[in-house]
Structure 1
Amino acid sequence: QAVQYVNKKILESNPTERDLFDILVLSNNSPESGVRIINSAKHYGLEISKFCFVSDEDSTQYLKSHGVKLFLSADRTDVCNALRRGVSAALVFQQEVQAPSTPLRVVFDGDAVLFSDETDQIFQEQGLEGAVQYERAMEAIPIGEGPLKAFAMHLGKMRKKFSQEKSPIRTYLVTARSGRDMGIRAIKTLREWGLPIDEAFFMDGAPKGPILAQIQPHIFFDDGLHNIQGAQNVGVPSAWVP
């Protein structure tokens, strides 16, 4: 419903705007059993007009033909298939959450989500000191693209339709990186990409749950299952990027 709110604000600003958020339900259910899914969407007041009921073993083959920018699923195989096809994707978990209010708030982790996992690999091989030295040496070079960079850029494009004060979209970076030793390259990379981020939190390895509870995002993306668990413990909707 927060996405519907964004569309409403876009149309209030420009009634002829065609570049809106669009939700597609992709299901392996038969068309006959899909009737229940359609009725459920109507019952909850969700403005979903596109439904695809397919019997193919790998339904993610249809994502690019529909121009999907983000694929969310509770099936890990489908998520991995979507990522292999170059579509931003994440695994969602069933959980009880309190629906947050508008505006639409989206939180991204940094390494292996927005950014590539190059620094994570250095950390695994050489430890923290090696990762810090690598970041300092590479400070002028943007970090590689991560699996959700394309979706974040599209979100940023939608956000730029508004002034910062009136935007119905807010984006956040919450990363385990240290701001002092590893934050500069991350900020420079976002600037190089032209990706607007409203707030950035460099946690230096501290738990992310408390700050997520303060932000109350509609969704939080992370590649660490311990961070996903921490978010779920404070009632934050989370999606794991494998």
Structure 2
Amino acid sequence: MIKKVSNVVITIRKRRALIMKESVMRLAIDAKLVSNRRFCQWLSAVSEKHCDKMSIETILFSSSSMKLMPLVASFQEFGVIFNQVFHTNKKMKTALLAEIQPDILFADNKNSILLEAAFKSSVAACTIENDDLKPKFNRMHLVFDADAVLFSDEAEQVNLKYGFEKFDEHEWDKREQLLPSGPLFSFIKKINIMQKHNIDVQWSLLTARSGRALFRAIKTIEHWQLEPAHMFFMSGGDKSTVLKSLDAHIFFDDKHEHCQAAKPYAIAVHVPMGLNINVSK
């Protein structure tokens, strides 16, 4: 009887922990991004977009060699207040990332040490590619690529290795199967919750998919009960034209060339995954 009661208590605690995890968005931030004025303004703005169903926690990762007080003060000038600060070495960063499992890590594109720590910890990491745009944050519009971002890079690998025809055939053959979740699935899922409860938050899907490859993508999105404000299937077309029309604030893509094209119109965020991962040792 005691054992049964104990098991029930453990189950309740696990459920509570899961509910808490699903109602908190954890954003891990590379200290080197303090010099990126545009990103700091975005981070301050998104932190204010919390709602009853989703709170937001920001976590700073800095190197032991950096001066901590001026660093924190510089972030605070942009209105960024951190819930947790980890001022430590590479080994501890890897261990902490593995333990905390933030929904996303934003890193400077030259910080290979922190990126490597994230990959070792199976944490979704991305790099900020630009810092020269004017702020426009009354409303928050986040735009995401599909393959290797929302979805895994399973289909992307077929396309890159064997070409579009094989990719199209692969996706049609698997049209009744859900796509595996990608590195930013957890982050997007929580943005989706925020969108339902905060009119100032929107997210959209912008993907090169088209033709027969649409079916599997749409089926997966509907099964996950995600509700993007807009969906654009571009058939390999120029994504920057859509970003300009959307007046998007931040764009996530796994390909550098798409991030480069997006730079004039939004904060461009590179999401390295699978065949596109290249971390300097």
The two structures share one fold, judged by TM-score above 0.5: yes
Q: CA deviation at 1:62?
A: 1.2
**Residues matched between the structures, number:** 227
Q: CA deviation at 1:170?
A: 0.7
Q: Deviations over 1:14-60 (max 9, x none)?
A: 5xx7x4111111111457x1101111122222233432211335623
Q: CA deviation at 1:111?
A: 0.9
Q: Deviations over 1:58-90 (max 9, x none)?
A: 623212434521101112342243134222211
The whole-number CA distance in structure 1 between the counterparts of 2:186 and 2:112 is: 20
Match of 1:95 among 107, 127, 131: 131
Does residue 26 in structure 1 map to residue 58 in structure 2? no
Contact 1:100/1:216 (8 A) holds in 2: no
Does residue 125 in structure 1 map to residue 161 in structure 2? yes
Q: Which amino acid aligns with 1:4?
A: S
Structure 1 consecutive aligned stretches of length 4 or more whose deviation exceeds 4 Å? none
Q: CA deviation at 1:186?
A: 0.7
Match of 1:207 among 209, 231, 238: 238
Query: What does residue 5 of structure 1 align with?
Result: 48
Change (3 A) 1:38 1:218: same
Q: Which amino acid aligns with 2:77?
A: H
Report 1:214-225 matches (<5 A): 214-225=245-256
Change (3 A) 1:170 1:83: farther
SS of residue matched to 2:61: strand
Query: What does residue 47 of structure 1 align with?
Result: 81
Higher helix share: 2
SS of residue matched to 1:22: strand
Contact 1:68/1:87 (8 A) holds in 2: yes
Contact 2:103/2:184 (8 A) holds in 1: no
Report 1:33-182 matches (<5 A): 33-57=67-91, 59-74=93-108, 75-160=111-196, 162=197, 167-178=199-210, 180-182=211-213
Identical amino acids, percent of aligned pairs: 26
| TM-score, normalised with respect to structure 1 | 0.84
SS of residue matched to 2:106: strand
SS of residue matched to 1:196: coil
SS of residue matched to 2:258: helix
Contact 2:64/2:88 (8 A) holds in 1: yes
Q: Where in structure 2 are there 5+ consecutive unaligned residues?
A: 1-43, 273-281
The whole-number CA distance in structure 2 between the counterparts of 1:97 and 1:78 is: 25
